[in-house]
Amino acid sequence: MNRLQLIENIFSKKSVLCVGLDTDLTKIPVHLLESEDPAFEFNKAIIDATKDYTVAYKINTAFYEAQGIKGWVSMEKTLNYIPKDIFTIADAKRGDIGNTSEQYAKTFFHTYPFDSVTVAPYMGADSVKPFLQFQDKWSIVLGLTSNAGSADFQLQQCGEELLYQKVLRTVASWGTPENIMFVIGATRKEQLQEVRQLLPEHFFLVPGVGAQGGDVDTVCRSAFNKEAGLLINVSRGIIFADSSASFALKANEQAGKYQKEMAAFF
């Protein structure tokens, strides 16, 4: 999916909602465990319940890889079920030396045709650039994350700037706002506006809203630009909002609530 298509869908739905499909089999409604493919049946119901409010789905591959071959099958079925006009993210956090990154890129852009994949930049340009060779595909590079351990490296001084600032500025020079996004955590409220000033045109994938304490209003006021420029991810706050047989109805309600908050900024 190219940038224009993504922006058109965002403005059509007046939404920047990304639903995270972090499908933990220990948390899904018990009755689904009796089905042949519990993860897919859960995801299918969540997608049906939220697709009218959602512009992106983020599949956290760890929850599928942990299940072995069955998990990969569930992931592929889920990817194929997502409507084609909705942006898809493989949250795989890959990144290795060049020839290995080339294979990771083929995995998530050809074998499993996601629109984007999350990438770790620690190994430098040759670990990221192979992902940038695919037309209408995106690398979503870890920039400023919302976990407690991010302070160990990201917030450390690196010359005259912090390390995360150097990462953002350097990685941005390897591609364009047409093929690079950045992960910017919603719980880093004090840095959201500063990061937007540093990268005025790039899209940000923003986790941390809902269960982790971030909120839509703060994120949008700090980082919304003329093309929206955001994908705000909510996982647990939508997909695990209810554990009963009515889980999909509750997911629909929660997704609608988030979309309504986002619509105020269009």
Which of 7, 25, 101, 57 has its CA nearest to residue 238?
57
pLDDT, residue 191, reads: 86
Sequential DSSP letters for 189-253: HHHHHHHHHHSSSSEEEE--BSTTSB-HHHHHHHH-BTTB-EEEEESHHHHTS--STTHHHHHHH
Distance between CA 78 and CA 147 in Å, rounded? 27
pLDDT, residue 205, reads: 97
pLDDT, residue 84, reads: 97
Q: Which residue ranges in the chain fall short of pLDDT 70?
A: 187-188, 210-213
Task: Say whether domain 3-263 belongs to CATH 3.20.20.70.
Answer: yes
pLDDT, residue 212, reads: 64
pLDDT, residue 242, reads: 95
Which of 88, 93, 94, 87 has its CA nearest to residue 76?
88
Distance between CA 150 and CA 163 in Å, rounded? 11
Residue 34's Cβ-count burial label (10 Å; 0-12, 13-18, 19+) is exposed
Give me the catalytic one of 14, 77, 93, 257. Answer: 93
Q: Is 257 an active-site residue?
A: no
pLDDT, residue 213, reads: 66
Q: Are 243 and 27 in contact (CB under 8 A)?
A: yes
pLDDT, residue 117, reads: 98
pLDDT, residue 188, reads: 66
